[in-house]
Amino acid sequence: MILRDAVRVLVSNWDGSYTVPSRRLYPHQWSWDSAFIAIGNARWSPRRARTELLSLFGAQWLDGRVPHIVFNPRVPEDAYFPSAEFWRAAAPSGARTSGIVQPPVHALAAWKTHQAEPDPAFLRRIYPRLVAQQEFLRAQRRSAEGLISIVHPWESGMDNSPAWDLPLAAVQASATGFVRRDLQTVSADERPTDRDYVQYVELAQAYRESGYREPGAFHVEDPLFNTAYGVAESTLAAIAEVLGLDPEPHRREAEAITGAMVRHLFDGKLFQPRDVHSGALIDSGSVAGLTPLMLPGLPAEVADALIGTAISRFGLNDMPLPSYALDAPEFDPARYWRGPSWVNVSWLVWQGLRERRPDLARTLADAMMRSVSQSGFREYFNPLTLRGHGCRDFSWSAALILDIVA
Ligand code: 9WN
């Protein structure tokens, strides 16, 4: 029943060559959504998963960046803010896009798609694009410490996480003259605030004005983004082997980023973001700090410490994984990325637990199943009550449940 409903959501959100995250709230193609959706689609239609990924990479820029939104020209400008008009950006293919990126979870999606139905021709097509995606990050976002940075909260995928409150405090908030569209679909107390939006617009405008090159007032290294980058390198090593190419450079890069993360982002209990401007760690309770469990080369004692934190501060044994630590004063169980449980980040942590602690991986998967059984494929869930929030029929909630059950 759940599986049939999950496929129904994905079918109804399919737009011919990709899947919208949500018909009304997010009516275009989003970067990391497409990766998660491909992982789910691979379970029942690997062809659709391949098409989804190749269509996203069809909008890749010459510098290798994969934009976080690819706009559908047939959708009216005022259906989503900020629209293509705001970003004023286009890929060489002609597709209108945003100019920022999202966590690079696509190599993993391509690999899982190949595992579902081996297709070396697909791997051969996508591999150079995945490599270029990583090269963009190395060329434009790498610090002296070897970590990868983001320049906008939207790039983290966890837009209004309390982890960004401090770095955002330095951002002037004066942008005016725009109309939010999200509040037509979702109640304001489940979304970012108006002040958040003013800052998002301000930062995006400044980045746009630098030709999408210069980091601005918000410049941080995020543990989830760096984990995705590191997992991508490990996965590219596996793909390179299948293609008869040299996997070693990818292995070395995966080791290097894992080492740099442990040295610079680990506080002994949780991985933390770092503010590039000040060089200081941001003392947060973001679930992003648990995702390094996915890194194959993470030292066992670091993984054990993370698992201890997941149990003590994120209720791993008792409830769906919240996006922010339950004991933090900022924890809010219904507001977007400030506490609710999200299927995609839970899935990332689940991946990281599967080999290390299969018992806890099962506990987490069961909790995710309980959320969707009780509330449907909502965008996020109150981890305490399992009540659903945000939009309905949300694609990655359906897709990743399909993957977990398969
Ligand atoms: C801005 C599409 C996207 C996700 C993000 C999520 C949300 C957009 C928004 O929706 O962000 O990119 O309009 O709020 O935070 O993770 O990719 O599902």
Each domain of the chain, given as residue ranges in start order, spans 2-405
Among 154, 201, 338, which residue has the most ligand 1 atoms within 8 Å of its CB, making it the best to mutate? 154
What are all long-range contacts of 24-27, with beta carbons under 8 Å and residues at least 24 apart?
24/184, 24/185, 24/391, 25/182, 25/185, 25/186, 25/379, 25/390, 25/391, 26/80, 26/391, 27/72, 27/75, 27/79, 27/80
Residue 401 in tokens: 């449940």
92 Cα to the center of ligand 1, angstroms: 24
Q: pTM of the prediction?
A: 0.98
What are the residue numbers of the active site?
Answer: 159, 379
pLDDT value of position 172: 85
Burial of 62 (0-12, 13-18, 19+ CB in 10 A): exposed
Ligand 1 in reach of 155 Cβ (< 6 A): no
Longest dimension (CA), the chain: 54
253 Cα to the center of ligand 1, angstroms: 29
Q: Which atom of ligand 1 is nearest to the CA of 102?
A: 17
404 and 354 in contact (C-beta within 8 Å)? no
Nearest CA to ligand 1 atom 5: 157
Nearest CA to ligand 1 atom 4: 157
pLDDT value of position 174: 86
Q: How confident is the model at residue 1 (pLDDT cuts 50, 70, 90)?
A: confident
Q: How confident is the model at residue 362 (pLDDT cuts 50, 70, 90)?
A: very high
Distance, in Å, from the CA atom of 186 to the CA atom of 170, rounded to the nearest integer, reads 28
Q: Domain 2-405 class? A: mainly alpha
Instruction: List beta partners, residue 19.
Output: 14
Distance, in Å, from the CA atom of 139 to the CA atom of 141, rounded to the nearest integer, reads 6
Taking only the tens place, the pLDDT of each residue in 63-104 is: 999 999 999 999 999 999 999 999 999 999 999 999 999 999
Ligand 1 in reach of 80 Cβ (< 6 A): no
Residue 6: phi and psi, rounded to 5, are: -65, -45
Asked if the model's pLDDT at residue 46 lies above 90, the reply is yes
Q: String of b and e for 221-230 (b: at least 16 CB within 10 Å)?
A: bbbbbbbbbb
Instruction: For strands 89-90 and 96-97, give the pairing.
Output: antiparallel
Residue 203: phi and psi, rounded to 5, are: -65, -40
340 and 323 in contact (C-beta within 8 Å)? yes
Taking only the tens place, the pLDDT of each residue in 248-297 is: 999 999 999 999 999 999 999 999 999 999 999 999 999 999 999 999 99
Name residues whose C-beta falls within 8 Å of residue 251's C-beta, 6 or more positions apart in sequence: 233, 234, 237
Distance, in Å, from the CA atom of 325 to the CA atom of 172, rounded to the nearest integer, reads 28
User: What number is the ipTM of this complex?
Assistant: 0.99
Among residues of the chain, what percentage have pLDDT more than 90?
Answer: 98
Distance, in Å, from the CA atom of 261 to the CA atom of 227, rounded to the nearest integer, reads 8
Ligand 1 in reach of 26 Cβ (< 6 A): yes
Taking only the tens place, the pLDDT of each residue in 158-203 is: 999 999 999 999 898 888 899 999 999 999 999 999 999 999 999 9
